[in-house]
Chains A and B, each alone.
Chain A
Amino acid sequence: GQSLEQPSEVTAVEGAIVQINCTYQTSGFYGLSWYQQHDGGAPTFLSYNALDGLEETGRFSSFLSRSDSYGYLLLQELQMKDSASYFCAAYGGATNKLIFGTGTLLAVQP
Protein backbone atom coordinates (compact mmCIF):
# COMPACT_ATOMS: atom_id res chain seq x y z
CA GLY A 1 0.00 0.00 0.00
CA GLN A 2 0.90 3.64 -0.07
CA SER A 3 0.87 5.81 3.02
CA LEU A 4 2.33 8.97 4.46
CA GLU A 5 2.57 9.85 8.12
CA GLN A 6 2.83 13.29 9.61
CA PRO A 7 1.97 14.70 13.05
CA SER A 8 -1.63 15.80 13.41
CA GLU A 9 -0.86 19.04 15.25
CA VAL A 10 2.11 21.28 15.99
CA THR A 11 2.16 24.46 18.06
CA ALA A 12 4.85 27.14 17.95
CA VAL A 13 5.28 30.80 18.85
CA GLU A 14 5.63 33.74 16.55
CA GLY A 15 9.20 34.26 15.40
CA ALA A 16 10.25 30.69 16.12
CA ILE A 17 11.26 27.86 13.79
CA VAL A 18 9.12 24.75 13.35
CA GLN A 19 9.74 21.49 11.53
CA ILE A 20 6.92 19.31 10.19
CA ASN A 21 8.02 15.76 9.49
CA CYS A 22 6.68 13.31 6.94
CA THR A 23 7.53 9.66 6.46
CA TYR A 24 6.27 7.78 3.44
CA GLN A 25 5.80 4.31 2.06
CA THR A 26 4.98 4.47 -1.62
CA SER A 27 5.84 2.42 -4.65
CA GLY A 28 7.46 4.10 -7.62
CA PHE A 29 8.35 7.15 -5.54
CA TYR A 30 9.61 10.13 -7.52
CA GLY A 31 9.46 13.01 -5.07
CA LEU A 32 7.73 14.80 -2.20
CA SER A 33 5.52 17.87 -2.44
CA TRP A 34 4.26 20.16 0.30
CA TYR A 35 0.98 22.09 0.32
CA GLN A 36 -0.47 24.70 2.65
CA GLN A 37 -4.17 25.02 3.36
CA HIS A 38 -5.71 27.78 5.43
CA ASP A 39 -8.96 27.02 7.18
CA GLY A 40 -11.77 27.02 4.63
CA GLY A 41 -9.39 27.59 1.75
CA ALA A 42 -7.87 25.67 -1.11
CA PRO A 43 -4.54 23.85 -0.82
CA THR A 44 -1.67 25.80 -2.35
CA PHE A 45 1.60 24.35 -3.58
CA LEU A 46 4.70 25.20 -1.53
CA SER A 47 7.56 23.04 -2.74
CA TYR A 48 8.73 19.84 -4.39
CA ASN A 49 11.82 17.74 -3.69
CA ALA A 50 12.90 15.19 -6.26
CA LEU A 51 16.48 14.93 -5.00
CA ASP A 52 17.94 14.41 -1.55
CA GLY A 53 18.77 17.56 0.32
CA LEU A 54 17.35 20.91 1.30
CA GLU A 55 15.43 23.26 -0.98
CA GLU A 56 14.96 26.80 0.30
CA THR A 57 12.25 29.23 -0.74
CA GLY A 58 12.20 32.32 1.43
CA ARG A 59 11.16 31.46 4.98
CA PHE A 60 10.18 27.93 3.96
CA SER A 61 12.57 25.05 3.28
CA SER A 62 11.88 21.45 2.42
CA PHE A 63 14.13 18.45 2.88
CA LEU A 64 14.14 14.94 1.47
CA SER A 65 16.06 11.79 2.34
CA ARG A 66 15.19 8.96 -0.04
CA SER A 67 17.21 6.41 1.89
CA ASP A 68 15.16 7.14 5.02
CA SER A 69 11.82 7.63 3.20
CA TYR A 70 11.58 10.86 5.11
CA GLY A 71 11.10 14.53 4.50
CA TYR A 72 10.30 17.68 6.40
CA LEU A 73 9.07 21.20 5.92
CA LEU A 74 10.91 23.88 7.87
CA LEU A 75 9.22 27.18 8.55
CA GLN A 76 11.38 30.00 9.91
CA GLU A 77 10.49 33.34 11.45
CA LEU A 78 6.98 32.14 12.06
CA GLN A 79 4.16 34.58 11.52
CA MET A 80 0.55 34.38 12.63
CA LYS A 81 -0.48 33.98 9.00
CA ASP A 82 1.46 30.69 8.87
CA SER A 83 -1.27 29.10 11.01
CA ALA A 84 -2.69 26.53 8.60
CA SER A 85 -2.68 22.85 7.73
CA TYR A 86 0.36 21.50 5.91
CA PHE A 87 0.22 18.39 3.76
CA CYS A 88 3.03 16.31 2.41
CA ALA A 89 2.25 14.44 -0.80
CA ALA A 90 4.21 11.68 -2.49
CA TYR A 91 4.49 11.84 -6.24
CA GLY A 92 4.58 8.47 -7.95
CA GLY A 93 6.00 9.05 -11.38
CA ALA A 94 4.89 5.67 -12.69
CA THR A 95 1.33 6.29 -11.56
CA ASN A 96 1.42 10.02 -12.22
CA LYS A 97 -0.52 10.62 -9.03
CA LEU A 98 -0.10 12.50 -5.81
CA ILE A 99 -0.88 10.66 -2.58
CA PHE A 100 -1.53 13.08 0.26
CA GLY A 101 -0.77 12.71 3.93
CA THR A 102 -3.48 13.48 6.46
CA GLY A 103 -2.07 16.91 7.24
CA THR A 104 -0.48 18.74 10.15
CA LEU A 105 -2.36 21.60 11.76
CA LEU A 106 0.13 24.32 12.72
CA ALA A 107 -0.99 26.80 15.34
CA VAL A 108 1.22 29.87 15.72
CA GLN A 109 0.77 31.62 19.03
CA PRO A 110 1.71 35.20 19.88
Chain B
Amino acid sequence: DADVTQTPRNRITKTGKRIMLECSQTKGHDRMYWYRQDPGLGLRLIYYSFDVKDINKGEISDGYSVSRQAQAKFSLSLESAIPNQTALYFCATSVGESTYEQYFGPGTRLTVT
Protein backbone atom coordinates (compact mmCIF):
# COMPACT_ATOMS: atom_id res chain seq x y z
CA ASP B 1 0.00 0.00 0.00
CA ALA B 2 1.13 3.53 -0.76
CA ASP B 3 2.45 5.53 2.19
CA VAL B 4 0.80 8.78 1.07
CA THR B 5 -2.59 8.55 -0.62
CA GLN B 6 -4.76 11.22 -2.19
CA THR B 7 -8.41 11.14 -3.10
CA PRO B 8 -9.81 11.71 -5.62
CA ARG B 9 -7.13 11.14 -8.25
CA ASN B 10 -9.04 13.06 -10.87
CA ARG B 11 -11.88 15.54 -10.50
CA ILE B 12 -13.80 17.76 -12.85
CA THR B 13 -15.94 20.42 -11.22
CA LYS B 14 -17.77 23.57 -12.20
CA THR B 15 -16.95 27.16 -11.34
CA GLY B 16 -18.34 28.16 -7.96
CA LYS B 17 -18.51 24.66 -6.51
CA ARG B 18 -16.86 23.75 -3.22
CA ILE B 19 -14.48 20.86 -3.45
CA MET B 20 -12.33 18.96 -0.97
CA LEU B 21 -9.17 17.05 -1.71
CA GLU B 22 -8.05 14.54 0.88
CA CYS B 23 -4.66 13.25 1.89
CA SER B 24 -3.81 10.38 4.21
CA GLN B 25 -0.45 8.99 5.24
CA THR B 26 0.75 5.90 7.03
CA LYS B 27 4.35 7.05 7.39
CA GLY B 28 3.81 8.44 10.90
CA HIS B 29 5.20 11.80 9.80
CA ASP B 30 4.22 14.91 11.74
CA ARG B 31 4.52 17.44 8.92
CA MET B 32 2.17 17.65 5.95
CA TYR B 33 2.00 19.98 2.94
CA TRP B 34 -0.23 20.88 0.01
CA TYR B 35 1.32 22.01 -3.28
CA ARG B 36 -0.07 22.83 -6.68
CA GLN B 37 1.83 22.22 -9.89
CA ASP B 38 1.24 24.13 -13.10
CA PRO B 39 3.21 23.60 -16.30
CA GLY B 40 6.40 25.66 -16.23
CA LEU B 41 5.84 26.89 -12.68
CA GLY B 42 7.13 24.04 -10.62
CA LEU B 43 5.60 23.22 -7.25
CA ARG B 44 4.12 26.03 -5.20
CA LEU B 45 3.23 25.68 -1.54
CA ILE B 46 -0.40 26.32 -0.62
CA TYR B 47 -0.54 25.37 3.08
CA TYR B 48 1.52 23.38 5.52
CA SER B 49 1.06 21.89 8.95
CA PHE B 50 3.70 20.81 11.44
CA ASP B 51 1.25 19.10 13.77
CA VAL B 52 -2.49 18.84 14.30
CA LYS B 53 -2.76 22.26 15.95
CA ASP B 54 -0.37 24.05 13.61
CA ILE B 55 -1.54 25.37 10.23
CA ASN B 56 0.43 27.84 8.13
CA LYS B 57 -0.16 29.64 4.86
CA GLY B 58 2.19 29.05 1.99
CA GLU B 59 2.94 31.15 -1.07
CA ILE B 60 -0.48 30.88 -2.71
CA SER B 61 -3.13 30.29 -0.03
CA ASP B 62 -5.81 32.67 -1.36
CA GLY B 63 -8.93 30.76 -2.37
CA TYR B 64 -7.92 27.66 -0.39
CA SER B 65 -8.42 26.39 3.14
CA VAL B 66 -7.15 23.32 4.97
CA SER B 67 -8.03 21.06 7.86
CA ARG B 68 -5.70 18.76 9.78
CA GLN B 69 -8.17 16.24 11.17
CA ALA B 70 -5.53 13.96 12.65
CA GLN B 71 -1.80 13.49 12.38
CA ALA B 72 -2.39 11.25 9.39
CA LYS B 73 -5.01 13.35 7.55
CA PHE B 74 -4.74 16.74 5.87
CA SER B 75 -7.52 18.06 3.62
CA LEU B 76 -7.48 20.92 1.15
CA SER B 77 -10.68 22.76 0.26
CA LEU B 78 -11.48 25.11 -2.55
CA GLU B 79 -14.35 27.20 -1.21
CA SER B 80 -15.57 28.41 -4.60
CA ALA B 81 -13.61 26.86 -7.42
CA ILE B 82 -12.49 29.01 -10.35
CA PRO B 83 -10.92 27.93 -13.66
CA ASN B 84 -7.43 29.16 -12.79
CA GLN B 85 -7.37 26.63 -9.96
CA THR B 86 -7.16 23.94 -12.59
CA ALA B 87 -3.89 22.21 -11.73
CA LEU B 88 -2.21 19.11 -10.38
CA TYR B 89 -2.33 19.06 -6.57
CA PHE B 90 0.15 17.16 -4.44
CA CYS B 91 0.16 16.32 -0.78
CA ALA B 92 3.52 15.66 0.88
CA THR B 93 4.85 14.64 4.28
CA SER B 94 8.11 14.94 6.16
CA VAL B 95 9.34 14.05 9.60
CA GLY B 96 10.81 16.28 12.26
CA GLU B 97 13.50 18.67 11.12
CA SER B 98 13.91 16.91 7.77
CA THR B 99 11.63 19.26 5.87
CA TYR B 100 14.10 19.09 2.97
CA GLU B 101 13.15 15.44 2.38
CA GLN B 102 9.47 15.23 1.52
CA TYR B 103 7.39 12.27 0.42
CA PHE B 104 4.69 13.00 -2.12
CA GLY B 105 1.33 11.43 -2.81
CA PRO B 106 0.32 10.47 -6.35
CA GLY B 107 -1.46 13.77 -7.00
CA THR B 108 -4.98 14.91 -7.79
CA ARG B 109 -5.66 16.33 -11.23
CA LEU B 110 -8.35 18.98 -10.80
CA THR B 111 -10.16 20.62 -13.68
CA VAL B 112 -12.51 23.56 -13.06
CA THR B 113 -14.80 24.34 -15.98
Question: Given A102-B42, A103-B42 in contact, is the A96-B50 Cβ separation under 8 Å?
Answer: yes
- B103 part of interface (Cβ distance < 8 Å): yes
Contact B100 A31 (CB under 8 A): yes
Q: List residues 67-108 of chain A with CB under 8 A from any CB of chain B.
A: 87, 89, 91, 96-103
For the complex, is A30 an interface residue (Cβ under 8 Å from B)? yes
**How many residues on B have C-beta within 8 angstroms of the other chain's C-beta atoms?**
21
Closest to A4 in B: B42
Tell whether, in the assembled complex, residue B44 and residue A33 are in contact, meaning their CB atoms are under 8 Å apart: no
Which residues B32-54 have CB closer than 8 A to chain A?
35, 40-45, 48, 50
CA distance A100 to B107 in the complex (A): 17
Nearest B residue (CB) for A91? B100
Whether B42 lies near A42 (C-beta < 8 A) is no
Contacts of A43 in B (CB 8 A): 43, 90, 92, 102, 104
Residues A40-80 near B (CB distance < 8 A)? 41-45, 48
Count how many chain A residues have C-beta atoms less than 8 Å from C-beta atoms of the other chain.
Answer: 21
A87 near B42 with CB under 8 A, answer yes
Given contacts A91-B99, A96-B50, A96-B99, contact A42 B107 (CB under 8 A): yes
Can you sample 29 A-B contacts with CB below 8 Å?
Answer: A30-B100, A31-B100, A33-B100, A33-B101, A41-B106, A41-B107, A42-B90, A42-B104, A42-B105, A42-B106, A43-B43, A43-B92, A43-B102, A45-B102, A48-B100, A87-B42, A87-B43, A91-B99, A91-B100, A97-B45, A97-B99, A98-B45, A98-B99, A98-B100, A99-B45, A100-B35, A100-B42, A102-B40, A103-B42
| Interface contacts beyond A44-B104, A102-B40: sample of 7 additional A-B pairs, CB < 8 Å, sorted by A | A42-B104, A42-B107, A45-B102, A87-B43, A96-B50, A96-B99, A103-B42
Q: Which residues of A contact B (CB under 8 A)?
A: 8, 30-31, 33, 41-45, 48, 87, 89, 91, 96-103
